[in-house]
């Protein structure tokens, strides 16, 4: 009986050791795999976020948004089916970043291009989209279009003025020549009317 109890205790210890070794192995592997995850750059985070938004995959998009703005990530009808055309200049300032983003909207009326900055913050050593600030950048876009339109009008006016510069120069030269001629004539008339006494 004593040998049987010793045998049972030995088997229980072996079973516990086996389970502990499995648990240690599983924990080790999970730590190794979690350590192997790559941290996305601001550009990669931006690309992944907007592709998820365009596909309507809000859960994936929220993973790339800051904790504070995840609730703001909701279905955007105008973004659905859009395509991320490109990302441009990246500005990193400590734990803040901006990525120039160009998205082509797809709808039946027109294929509109949106150009704006995606704002990112660093959270737990990972770049996350500050969706609230990014939406603010998107909301001022109509003003950006107005400014671009005014700039285009200004460029047209400048070109027209540059084309007219030779004409204006000729007009001014002609006017100054005429003015000089008239002043000379006026001086001659004054000299005739009031001759200067010669000494």
CATH number of the CATH domain containing 104: 3.10.450.50
For residue 64, the surrounding DSSP H or E stretch is none
50, 87: one domain: yes
With respect to residue 199, please indicate whether it lies within any of the assigned structural domains: no
pTM above 0.85, yes or no: no
| Whole-number Å distance between alpha carbons of 75 and 59 | 11
How many domains does the chain fold into? 3
Residues 104 and 151 in one domain: no
pLDDT digits (tens, 9 = 90+) for 61-95: 999 999 999 988 888 777 777 888 888 899 999 99
**Domain, as residue range, for 176:** 141-194
User: CA angle 170-171-173, nearest 5°?
Assistant: 65
Residue where the block lists tokens 């941290």: 39
Q: Please answer whether residues 127 and 120 qualify as being in contact, where contact means their C-beta atoms are separated by less than 8 angstroms.
A: yes
């Amino acid at each position: 009986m004593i040998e049987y109890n010793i045998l049972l205790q030995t088997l229980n210890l072996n079973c516990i050791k086996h389970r502990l070794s499995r648990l240690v192995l599983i924990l080790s592997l999970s730590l190794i795999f979690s350590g192997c995850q790559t941290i996305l750059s601001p550009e990669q985070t931006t690309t992944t976020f907007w592709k998820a938004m365009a596909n309507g995959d809000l859960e994936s998009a929220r993973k790339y948004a800051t904790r504070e703005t995840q609730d703001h990530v909701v279905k955007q009808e105008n973004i659905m089916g859009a395509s991320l055309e490109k990302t441009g200049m990246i500005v990193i300032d400590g734990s803040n970043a901006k990525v120039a983003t160009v998205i082509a909207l797809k709808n039946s009326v027109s294929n509109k291009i949106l150009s704006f900055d995606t704002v990112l913050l660093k959270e737990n050593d990972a770049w996350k989209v500050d969706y609230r600030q990014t939406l603010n950048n998107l909301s001022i876009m109509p003003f950006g279009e107005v400014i671009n339109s005014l700039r285009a009008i200004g460029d047209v006016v400048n070109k027209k003025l540059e084309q007219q510069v030779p004409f204006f120069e000729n007009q001014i030269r002609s006017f100054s020549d005429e003015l000089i001629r008239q002043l000379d004539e006026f001086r001659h008339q004054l000299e005739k009317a009031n001759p200067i006494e010669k000494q």
